Amino acid sequence: MTDLTRLSAAQLAEKLTSREVSAVEAVQAHLDRIGEVDRAINAFLHVNTDEALLVASEVDKERSLGDAMHPLAGVPIAVKDLIVTKGQPTTAGSKILEGWHSPYDATVVRRLRDAKMPILGKTNLDEFAMGSSTEHSAYGPTRNPWDLDRIPGGSGGGSAAAVAAFEAPLALGTDTGGSIRQPGAVTGTVGVKPTYGGVSRYGAIAMASSLDQIGPVTRTVLDSALLHEVIGGHDPHDSTSLTDPVGALVEAARNADVKGLRIGVIKELQGEGYQDGVQARFTEALDLLRQAGADVVEVSCPNFRYALGAYYLIMPSEASSNLAKYDGVRFGLRVVPDGAPTIERVMGATRAAGFGDEVKRRIILGTYALSAGYYDAYYGSAQKVRTLIQRDFDAAFTQADVLISPTAPTTAFKLGEKLDDPLAMYLNDVATIPANMAGVPGISVPGGLADGLPVGIQFLAPARQDARLYRAGAALEALLEDTWGGPLLAQAPEIGGGK
Ligand code: GLN
């Protein structure tokens, strides 16, 4: 029998619809795989065995009665532990939320449940999604399935590693500065940050509200389009939710063709600072796209060089405000110090014990940047940079339909390599942050290997034009797979050291 964990979500969905395979078999195969490899990978913080099997058995029953079902009904999925789920813990990778259960489901989770997609569990992340390596999780790092001594990217390393290690065909991530796309790049998976407002943020624990976006993590571009159509669309619970219908994404992925598509190479996001192997795979991808009839042009976005600096003012500022609610009173952990248990002392002791170093660093930075007297100089200036970045995108999109760059400057680095150097860690997001600053959508697709490790290629599109990402992404995926003779992940080494 085919190994069900090796199928794409689209392939698995076909087998479920034709009833060649049952949803219980599909879910069980993934639970078995988690049991085999997750001790080595640590992608999951919580495995939702009973409920996933229960939903699967309901799907099988309804299908046997001939009921009309969502095409992805029975296809299992993993959810980043920043997204709240009723009936399962949500930790945000932090000790401060250890043991906390949400009283409600995030809108995206509700949509998965409506589609009857069994939720396999919750995936690991950098604490409150702050990081690029998943080493800032309070529950230990996740490891990259390509090399267990290396990071799987971050903050959504758990979701990316789960999908790359065939523990789940699909996962959800969140992307504030690159946390879906950069883990995608370094694990050889596909990750999409939708247009800001295209997917509801209701129930995604807020990091930086003006930048955060939930999106798909998958092994194929088509699978991302399928999942995006499930989770996207208007939600009255999110005041920034767009009213546009989501549609035509799957169609775009199925009719991928770059003939006549104007692809703009962002001059500032390549060359110096990018690892040689990354640059080589990027250049090859451009050649393939050109040969397939794309019109490849160079565009310049001069203000992108300020994006990282401005992000590290805006993001901590918003986070310092969003994280003020973890006060030892309303959620999760409460530490009562010796002596008089005044509100300030309980709050101080709880936050000192509950937050890790990176979270504290950003709260301090954000509080400082927002304080009276400094607000205009820091936060105000960063907001102006944001406008300049938006203008760079506007100008570039008059010359090109989509933009292209490497997703991340390097392949996966070793665990511990950048942990004590926050600035080196922040530089991982140099190519992904501009999209969040402007609210435009982006996709990372596998671009091949450099020294045996995956490289990601990023496409960016104008706001609301997510379909273009699927068209260009699926076309590049097909061109590259022709040269590799199959999916990149088929070349990944088998994972040793199972349970
Ligand atoms: N790595 C970036 C940061 O640490 C992005 C995080 C994210 O997208 N959640 O802020």
Give 157-185 as a DSSP string: HHHHHHHHTTS-SEEEEE-SSSTTHHHHH
**Residue 325, in any domain of the structure:** no
Structure tokens at 391: 């203008």
Higher pLDDT pick, 363 / 497: 363
Q: Report how far ligand 1's centroid is from the alpha carbon of 186 (Å).
A: 15
**Residue 308, in any domain of the structure:** no
Q: Regarding beta strands 77-80 and 119-123, do their DSSP bridges make them parallel or antiparallel, or are they unpaired?
A: parallel
**Residue 337, in any domain of the structure:** no
In testing the pocket of ligand 1, which one of 132, 207, 323 has its CB within 8 Å of the most ligand atoms?
A: 132
Determine which residue's CA is closest to atom 10 belonging to ligand 1: 130
**Residue 148, in any domain of the structure:** yes
In testing the pocket of ligand 1, which one of 209, 410, 429 has its CB within 8 Å of the most ligand atoms?
A: 429
Identify the residues whose C-beta falls under 6 Å from ligand 1: 129-132, 154-155, 174-179, 207, 315, 429
**Residue 375, in any domain of the structure:** no
C-alpha 13, offset from chain centre: 22
Whole-model pTM: value is 0.97
User: Residue 41: which residues within 8 A CB-CB, separation 6 or more?
Assistant: 142, 143, 145, 148, 161, 162, 165, 167, 495
Q: Give rounded-to-5 percent helix, strand, coil for the chain.
A: 45, 15, 40
pLDDT band at 331 (very low <50, low <70, confident <90, very high): confident
**Residue 269, in any domain of the structure:** yes
Number of domains within the chain: 1
Range of the domain at 412: 4-303+388-491
Q: Report how far ligand 1's centroid is from the alpha carbon of 293 (Å).
A: 35
Active site members: 80, 155, 179
Structure tokens at 394: 């506007």
Q: Is 57 exposed, middle or buried (0-12, 13-18, 19+ CB in 10 A)?
A: middle
Q: Name beta bridge partners: 174.
A: 214
Report the CATH number that the domain containing residue 176 is assigned in CATH.
3.90.1300.10
**Residue 187, in any domain of the structure:** yes
**Residue 327 to residue 83: CA distance in whole angstroms:** 20
**Residue 92 to residue 80: CA distance in whole angstroms:** 8
Question: What's the whole-number mean pLDDT along residues 394-403?
Answer: 98
26-65 tens-digit pLDDT: 999 999 999 999 999 999 999 999 999 999 999 999 999 9
Q: Residue 1 has what pLDDT?
A: 55
206-244 tens-digit pLDDT: 999 999 999 999 999 999 999 999 999 999 999 999 998
Query: What is the average pLDDT score of the chain?
Result: 96
Q: Regarding beta strands 44-47 and 170-174, do their DSSP bridges make them parallel or antiparallel, or are they unpaired?
A: unpaired
* Res. 75: pLDDT tops 60: yes
Percent above pLDDT 70 for the chain: 99
- Give the alpha-carbon dihedral of 461, 249, 182, 204, to 10 degrees: 110
Question: What's the whole-number mean pLDDT along residues 106-132?
Answer: 98
User: Residue 335: which residues within 8 A CB-CB, separation 6 or more?
Assistant: 328, 346, 349, 350, 352, 353, 354
**Residue 484 to residue 199: CA distance in whole angstroms:** 33
pLDDT band at 271 (very low <50, low <70, confident <90, very high): confident
Q: E strand or H helix at 61, and its extent?
A: helix 49-64
- Give the alpha-carbon dihedral of 145, 148, 149, 155, to 10 degrees: 50
* Res. 498: pLDDT tops 50: no
Q: Residue 245 has what pLDDT?
A: 85
Q: Report how far ligand 1's centroid is from the alpha carbon of 91 (Å).
A: 17
**Residue 496, in any domain of the structure:** no
